Structure 1
Amino acid sequence: MRIAFHLLDLSDKSFKKVYFKRWHGNIPEFSDKKLAKEYWNERQALDDMSRLKKATSKKARTLAIRLEGKNE
């Protein structure tokens, strides 16, 4: 399972999908799917998702945060 972050990039008005990689202090770090954090425990993923919902950015607007690969 991976956390996918769907966002609107305000710099070029494009839609993007990035994946949560890790926490750098209190700041989330994102990457492509290949380098994303792989969760084996759904509870840990949901904990990170609740923290990510509080994150804000001046460069992007969050559209959705989803857990991918849950049923695969």
Structure 2
Amino acid sequence: MRIAFHLFDLTDQSFKKVYFKKWHGNVPEFSDKKLAQEYWNERQAVDDISRLKKATSKRARTLAVRLEGKIE
């Protein structure tokens, strides 16, 4: 499972999806799906998801933060 970050990029007026990779202090780092952090259960991702939902940017607007690839 990976955390997908859906956003609207204000610089080029486009919708994008990036994946959470790791934290640099309080700043999240994003990458493509291949390099994204892998979570083995949903409880591990809950804290990161709640922190990412609070993230702000002058260049983009957050649309959704979701856990992808859930094991049912």
Q: Would the TM-score normalized by the shorter structure come out above 0.5?
A: yes
State the 1:7 CA deviation. 0.3
Alignment correspondent of 1:11: 11
Q: Distance in 2 between matches of 1:44 and 1:28?
A: 16
Q: Which AA in structure 2 matches 1:18?
A: V
Helix, strand or coil: the match of 1:47?
A: helix
Q: Which AA in structure 2 matches 1:17?
A: K
Unaligned 5+ segments in structure 1 are none
Q: Distance in 2 between matches of 1:71 and 1:37?
A: 16
**TM-score by structure 2 length?**
0.95
RMSD: 1.0
Helix, strand or coil: the match of 1:52?
A: helix
Q: Which AA in structure 1 matches 2:32?
A: D
Alignment correspondent of 1:38: 38
State the 1:46 CA deviation. 1.1
Q: Distance in 2 between matches of 1:12 and 1:60?
A: 10
**TM-score by structure 1 length?**
0.95
State the 1:41 CA deviation. 2.5
Spell out, residue by residue over 1:26-49, the C-alpha distance to the aligned partner (whole angstroms, 9 max, x if none): 000000000000001211101100
Q: What is the number of residues matched between the two proteins?
A: 72
Is 2:71 the counterpart of 1:71?
yes
| Runs of 4+ with >6 A deviation | none
